Structures are given as C-alpha cells and as structure tokens.
A = this chain, B = another copy of it.
Amino acid sequence: MIIIMKKNATEEEIKNIIKEIENKGFQALVTDGIERKVIGIKGDVSTIDSELFYKTGVEEVKRISRPYKLVSREFIPKDTVIDIEGIKIGGSNSPVIIAGPCAVESREQIIETAKAVKEAGAHILRGGAFKPRSNPYSFQGLKEVGLEYLKEAGEITGMPTDSEAVGESYVKLVSEYCSIIHIGARNGKSFELLKKAGKIGKQSRKPILLKRGENATVKEFLGAAEYIANEGCSDIILCLRGIRTYENKENGFQRYTPDLGSISVLKKKTHLPVIFDPSHAAGDREYVRSLCRGAIAMGADGLMVETHLDPDNAKSDAPQQVRPKTLQKIIEDVNLIYKKK
C-alpha cells in the first residue's frame, strides 16, 4: 500500500500518517514523488483497510497487488543513482563497465587483469572467489583467499570490486572484502539469501548486484529485488544475463537467449539501475561485442563483461571471456552509442 500525499500537504499531516501506520504495527517509508511526498507501508497489509489512511492531506491510497512496491517507479519516480566509491551507476554520462575474470585464479592473474581492464576503460573489477558450477567436480574457486586477492587488485588499481555470495553464510564475508555483494542467477529465487543480502547490504552500506534468475519473469525479478529492499537496503543494481528458452548452444545459437527486450520494460517499471551481462547470455566471446552495443543502445546503464588475459586457458567459462583488447573496443563502441540516446 502506498499513500500519495497532496501537493500542499504539511509536515504535520505527513507525520500524522506515519504515526497511524506505526500504530498499526507497520513501518513507514517516505519518498519524493514527482510533485508530492509518497509514503510506503512495509509488510503484509492485505488485511488492513485502506480507508484508515484517508486523512487530511492525503490525495490517494493505492493498494499494490504486484509482488513489488518499494522498487517500483510508482513509489519512486526518479532514477536511483548508486554511488560505489565514486563510480555512479544509473545516472552517469557514460555507461558503467564492470569487468574482470569469471574466477580469481591466482594473485598475479587478478592483479594483472585488473590493470588491463582499468587500462581498457573499465570502472569496477569483478572476480569470482566462490563459483557455483552445475558439475560438482568442476573448479569451485579459490574461496576466501580469492576475495583477498580481489581486494588487493582493487586497491592497487583504485577500482571498486564485485564478487558473488553463493549462499546465506557467504554474504557477510563478501561484504567485508568487496564493494558490491553479487547474487547469482542460480540463486535468483533463493529468498533467504536475498533477505540476508538485504540485511548485510543495509548494515555494511554495500550495494547488491542482483542477477535475474534464468527463468524469472520480469515480475519475479522485481519481486526478488523487493525482498532485498524490504530489508532496508535500497541500493540494488539489476543485472540481466540471458534467459533459458528453446534456443541454445547445441542448436547452433548462444548459451541463453539474450533478454535485451527486458531493459526497456525494467526501465519503465522500476527506478533501479539496469546493467547487462553479455558473457553469460552468449556463452561465446564472438557475440559479446554485438550484445554490448545492443544493450547500451536500448538503455542499459552499464555492462558486466567477463574479461581474461588468456581466455582459452581460463579455469571456468573459457569460451565466453574476452581479452582486454576486445573490452577496449567494446567500451569505445558503447561510449559513442550512449551519447546518441
């Protein structure tokens, strides 16, 4: 339920509404709409009568039946800009580029890669320390020491860092080493993990990068973001990465179907920034550049591009990682296209 105040509502009137909400045992969240204040109520209000809130100064009380309200454009009409150690996602003059290897493989590898992607124009360094793999016998990452190396590489190059928290018990750890807590596509509907990420994100003031689940609808994706927002963490970066359809690599196509069409749908429905990961979508470095161009032309705020110094010998996702040289061309491309928006 959201309560839209009149244009000329007084502070007194707003306070009264907040009090009323708190008296019912709920928590109120006040945001600025286009011309007026909007008050959201957190929690399950399905049994509350909306009439209760039609008090002086109130324009409209809207019951929202969708699984998301805090992350909706209706609640916050303005684009959310997230500041990550000075890098702004969501309202910048150029798209934000997150780059780095699929997995941290060694101290040298991540430091050298960090330098190379920085040089190519990237803003934020990514690197997996814990790797969720379909095959339990595949390389599962360097674990905590991978986070240490990533942190060091970020410090050396002056880049914020991003790494995945693969389960509830990993969120705190990642928050201690990294600038961004990353939730992967396979956990895109693991609600307990989302809640934990929201809690730790709030405490640590670290943003959450949330990947769309492989088969999530746009509504479910926003519902997942709402789980995080509902814990009080409002800095959420939505990351598209392809969806599973009848197309696939065995059919001579890409690994997933790139969900570029979702960029404008999300931009309409939510105020959160949206970035695109071409590497997992394509599963093939040959198609990464084209996807990056498309994503930025369609309105994405940034890209996450898996980049490796020697992709053919990468310990995971070898076929989809690009070289720093390609990354540089991609960044040149998308900077030109971005300005044409």
Bound form: Cα–Cα A246–B215 in Å: 8
Q: Which of A44, A294, A298 gathers the greatest number of chain B CB atoms within 10 Å?
A: A294
Q: Which of A137, A253, A286 gathers the greatest number of chain B CB atoms within 10 Å?
A: A137
Residue A291, interface by CB 8 Å:
yes
Q: Known pairs A136-B226, A136-B227, A218-B253. 5 more at Cβ < 8 A?
A: A166-B191, A247-B262, A254-B261, A257-B259, A297-B337
Closest chain B residue, CB of each to CB of A263? B290
Bound form: Cα–Cα A230–B133 in Å: 14
Residue A74, interface by CB 8 Å:
no
Which residues of chain A (295-341) have a CB below 8 Å from chain B?
295-299, 333, 336-337, 340
Cross-interface CB contact of A44 among B139, B259, B264, B287, cutoff 8 Å: B139
Cross-interface CB contact of A245 among B44, B169, B246, cutoff 8 Å: B246
Cross-interface CB contact of A291 among B217, B219, B261, cutoff 8 Å: B261
A257 to chain B minimum Cβ distance, whole angstroms, is 6
Q: List 20 A-B contacts (CB under 8 A).
A: A43-B137, A46-B137, A133-B191, A134-B220, A136-B191, A136-B226, A166-B191, A167-B190, A170-B192, A218-B247, A218-B251, A219-B252, A248-B250, A250-B251, A252-B265, A257-B259, A260-B294, A290-B298, A296-B297, A333-B340
Residue A138, interface by CB 8 Å:
yes
Can you list the 3 inter-chain pairs with the closest CB atoms, starting with the nearest?
A167-B192, A250-B250, A67-B135
| Residues 210-232 of chain A, each 1 if its beta carbon lies under 8 Å from chain B, else 0 | 00001101111001001100100
A216 to chain B minimum Cβ distance, whole angstroms, is 9
Residues of chain B within 8 A (CB-CB) of A282 are 261
Q: In the complex the two chains form, is A261's CB within 8 Å of B261's CB?
A: no
Residue A244, interface by CB 8 Å:
yes
Given known contacts A217-B252, A340-B336, A186 and B192 CB-to-CB distance under 8 angstroms: no
Residue A281, interface by CB 8 Å:
yes
Closest chain B residue, CB of each to CB of A191? B132
A52 to chain B minimum Cβ distance, whole angstroms, is 17
Q: Which of A217, A223, A230 gathers the greatest number of chain B CB atoms within 10 Å?
A: A217
Q: In the complex the two chains form, is B136's CB within 8 Å of A230's CB?
A: yes
Residues of chain B within 8 A (CB-CB) of A205 are none
Closest chain B residue, CB of each to CB of A254? B261
Q: Which of A186, A291, A297, A336 gathers the greatest number of chain B CB atoms within 10 Å?
A: A297
Bound form: Cα–Cα A295–B290 in Å: 10
Given known contacts A134-B67, A136-B227, A260 and B258 CB-to-CB distance under 8 angstroms: yes
A291 to chain B minimum Cβ distance, whole angstroms, is 7
Residues of chain B within 8 A (CB-CB) of A243 are 245-247, 257
Residue A193, interface by CB 8 Å:
yes
Closest chain B residue, CB of each to CB of A340? B336
Closest chain B residue, CB of each to CB of A229? B136
Q: In the complex the two chains form, is B134's CB within 8 Å of A253's CB?
A: no
Q: In the complex the two chains form, is B257's CB within 8 Å of A223's CB?
A: no
Residues of chain B within 8 A (CB-CB) of A161 are none
Closest chain B residue, CB of each to CB of A298? B294
Residue A189, interface by CB 8 Å:
yes
Bound form: Cα–Cα A186–B224 in Å: 12
